Structure 1
Amino acid sequence: MLIFPWPPLNSHIRIVYQDSMLFRRKKPATLSGRLREFLWPRKGFSRGVRYLSMRVLRLSSSPHSIAVGVAAGAASSATPFIGFHILIALAVAYLLSGNLIAAGIATALANPLTIPVILVATYEVGVVMLGAGGRGALTGEEIVHRLSHLELAHLWEPLLKPMLIGSVPIAAASAAVFYVLAFYAAKLFQSRRQVRRSGKAQHRTAGSANGL
């Protein structure tokens, strides 16, 4: 543990160090355990979803700004641009005056469980829109194989083009749905928070009046 000449800083470091010793794992996590925790947390995904939802709802922005940010994140997550979702979401949210934090958090919709579904869905919709269903549409295994082997010369026409076209209606639908959900959720949350604050203010005022 580091020692600094300023006593208050030493006290703070000592508390943090004691807390880390108290809550650290008894046994170091193995590589397989970390991978399993990443793919399927011990306490499930519902806790993570609730946590991210509350992070979004507690943002100090208007319901419209929060909803625009969430819609931007949801729309970018419905595209095949894996690794660039957050950049796309931030750019779209910035252009539409949406909340950037909400946009970044909403990109968590694209995760190891949903990404395969998103890729296949965008491809299938794109195939239908292009009318290429009867001309050798790829299966899910073939999509994963070609993406993993990065056969760029053979990716555009049979794979990337349908996925890009198919992602447009899916991204638009995702943005619309999540905008409505986020807008009304943020509006309701802020209204209830305002009521609680007003009640506490009235209680303090009444207490002060009684004290006089």
Structure 2
Amino acid sequence: MVFKRRDRRPIWKAVLEAFWPKGGWGRAALYVRHRLHRLPDPPHTIARGIFAGVFTTFTPFYGLHFIIAGLLALVMRGNVLAAMLATFFGNPLTYVPIGVIAMQSGYWLLGLDGGDNPRFHHGLGEKFVKAGQDLWHNVRALFTDDVAHWSELRVFYDEVFFPYLIGGIIPGLIAGIACYYISLPLISAYQNRRKGLLKQKLAALKKKKADTRSGAE
């Protein structure tokens, strides 16, 4: 394969680099910014893509952020690649605060609280574990005589997934709009500067050719 790595990384190294890429997150951020600046579309199209990518990171659809951001960018007539690159806004360093903000907003908007329901006293990690156990049990039930269990998956949906989905809308919009208006003038300035440099190079090249012709005559 053309894009296959020549040096196969051990699994532990691949996992480690997923949380801390080679060169650090600062270098990764500079790379993303460089790629965004060099996209050929108009600034407002790229900025719409950035909005789509940032907004998507506030949704609970982990593993599908690239796809959702790209589809949202298509609907908004934004740059799809910019949307995918902007999902970098959600990374192992920011997913925890994003999740906390989305969950707290969702509980507030839906009017949920702990109350006397003992399920709300289960930790978030425990809800993930129990939902995973239910899911695995139900997969096995397809091939055995066991009865499928949906109670813990229902708890996970009601108390984690749905509050996260609803609660991420407002902070996602705020973060997306902020990144849109921050990136728009930066991309415009970069593209204008690049156009100016290209014009200078073309002018210098034309002058060099003209001098060469006059010297030959």
1:82 aligns with 2:62: yes
Letter in 1 for 2:130: H
User: Distance in 1 between the 2:102 and 2:33 partners?
Assistant: 26
* Structure 2 counterpart of 1:57: 37
Letter in 1 for 2:125: V
Which of 16, 33, 46 is the equivalent residue of 2:13? Answer: 33
* Structure 1 counterpart of 2:90: 110
TM-score, with length taken from structure 1: 0.78
Give the conservation status (yes or no) of the 8 Å contact 1:78–1:174. Answer: no
Give the Å deviation of 1:179: 0.9
- How many aligned positions are there? 188
Q: Which runs of 5+ in 2 are unaligned?
A: 132-151
* Structure 2 counterpart of 1:69: 49
1:209 aligns with 2:190: no
Letter in 2 for 1:147: F
Report the RMSD for the aligned CA atoms in angstroms: 2.5
**Change in 2 beyond 3 A, CA 1:82/1:34:** closer
Letter in 2 for 1:179: Y
* Structure 1 counterpart of 2:180: 179
Q: Which runs of 5+ in 1 are unaligned?
A: 1-12, 14-19
User: Distance in 2 between the 1:29 and 1:88 partners?
Assistant: 29
**Change in 2 beyond 3 A, CA 1:205/1:179:** same
Give the Å deviation of 1:190: 0.4
Give the conservation status (yes or no) of the 8 Å contact 1:73–1:89. Answer: yes
Q: Where do 1:1-212 residues align within 5 Å?
A: 29-133=9-113, 135=115, 142-150=123-131, 151-211=152-212, 212=214
TM-score, with length taken from structure 2: 0.76
User: Distance in 1 between the 2:15 and 2:159 partners?
Assistant: 33
User: Distance in 2 between the 1:161 and 1:44 partners?
Assistant: 33
Letter in 1 for 2:181: V
User: Distance in 1 between the 2:170 and 2:125 partners?
Assistant: 22
**Change in 2 beyond 3 A, CA 1:100/1:192:** same
1:90 aligned counterpart, secondary structure: helix
